[in-house]
Amino acid sequence: MTEYAAHLRDGVAAFDAAAWDSCAGTANPFVSHAFLSILEESGSATPRAGWQPLPIAVEADGVLAGVAPAYAKSHSQGEYVFDHGWADAYQRAGGRYYPKLQLAVPFSPVPGPRLLLREPGAARALIAAVEAVTRQNGLSSAHATFVAPEQVPLFEAAGWLIRADSQFHWQNDGYQSFDAFLDALASRKRKAIRKERAAAVAGLSRREIDERFYQDTGARKWGRPYLTRRFFSLLGERLGERVLLILAYRDGRPIAGALNLIGADTLYGRYWGALEEVPFLHFELCYYQAIDAAIARGLARVEAGAQGSHKLARGYVPVPTWSAHFIPDPGFRAAIADFLARERAAVAQEIAGLGELAPFRRGC
């Protein structure tokens, strides 16, 4: 059997980019060395922000075989898998929930690999290394959030608890145009979308990133935006070829924008903002233009981020998302396991019910 040596680094930037990406692959831009190091360099994911980078790696004969983007967290913000109730319960019972270990892409509710593997056989060693870091440092728990479905069995086999949630994704059923997609919808839904698009009367163009829109939305929703202005500048410089920015103009002045990242088979809708209110413009830029772009590029799906049952009427259907949780404390683990079993059943029931409300014509 291959022997692996595990080690911690103090940031993704400490790794050779080519070595990291040999594990991460090219399909999902969020786990790339470029994206994760931009989060660090821009001051977005830092110890001061409550995200201390602690990537965990395993090597075989001195060669990187697998790595996990991990962070020591002093809070539960910016994760989109909510465990505030767990933290409160553990602390009321006399425990200390924070810091915890988080395997994630900060501020990005995007499903993807959390075990970045050049060698598939390194998965168990990497999970064991994460568990060792958790135990040896007296951390309450480790959490892998928005785990790619194909990696869920790896965590489950290691005894981690599995949590379910859902998002709304648009699936490309071989459509050749946006009109072809509309033809698959029930007549009433098709007419509603055409009305919305007609109402969002603004010239659309693609320009360099304007971070003001994100800053405005972040300030209104969270009080303080998670991402710094420098993040967007670095993103444009280093990942510009994987960025699709859709802007709405009024009289030659940009008034709203939606930023997407392009993956191998997926368009990831990420950040939206507006400097003035225009009816239905959010739907146009974030959902309909994204569908147009995905069809034009032959992409299989659009992932439009967390939450939002309003996406259902726009052709985005509910799909399950997954996270995995390592809880060393036996009593706490038992309580969480009981809760998750009931929650998974409720999520499955909700997805089934929402699926029945999808706007597609029966038989499509």
Q: Give the three-class secondary structure for 204.
A: strand
Is residue 262 in a domain? yes
Instruction: Check whether residue 250 and residue 301 sit in a common domain.
Output: yes
pLDDT score of 78 more than 60: yes
Would residue 19 count as lying in a domain?
yes
- Confirm whether 363 is domain-assigned: no
The pTM of this model reads: 0.93
Q: Are residues 10 and 159 in the same domain?
A: yes
Residues 347 and 309 in one domain: no
Which CB contacts under 8 angstroms, 24+ apart, belong to 151-159?
A: 151/113, 151/114, 151/115, 151/123, 152/322, 152/324, 154/115, 154/123, 154/124, 154/127, 155/127, 155/324, 156/324, 157/124, 158/124, 158/127, 158/128, 158/131, 159/326
What does the mean pLDDT of the chain come to?
A: 92
User: For residue range 263-276, what is the model confidence (pLDDT) as tens digits?
Assistant: 999 999 999 989 98
Distance of CA 255 to the CA centre of its chain: 26
* Residue 364 within any structural domain of the chain: no
Q: Do 162 and 185 lie in a common domain?
A: no
In a domain, 53, yes or no: yes
* Dmax (CA) of the chain: 66
- Above 90 in pLDDT, residue 323? yes
Q: How many domains does the chain have?
A: 2
List the single range of 48-57, 140-149, 225-234, 332-341 with lowest mean pLDDT: 225-234
Does position 220 have pLDDT exceeding 80, yes or no?
no
281 & 156 share domain:
no
Please write the tens of the pLDDT for every residue from 114-132: 999 999 999 999 999 999 9
Q: Are 174 and 162 in a shared domain?
A: no
Same domain, yes or no: 154 and 41: yes
Q: Which range of residues forms the domain containing residue 288?
A: 168-318
Task: Work out the average pLDDT over 197-214.
Answer: 56
Q: Provide the pLDDT for residue 305.
A: 87
DSSP letters for 136-186:
HTT-S-EEE-SB-GGGHHHHHHTT-EEEEEEEEEEE--S-SSHHHHHHTB-
Considering the domain boundaries, does residue 260 fall inside one?
yes
Q: Which residues pair with 71 in a beta bridge?
A: 53, 102
Question: Is 276 a domain residue?
Answer: yes
Asked if 241 and 93 sit in the same domain, the reply is no
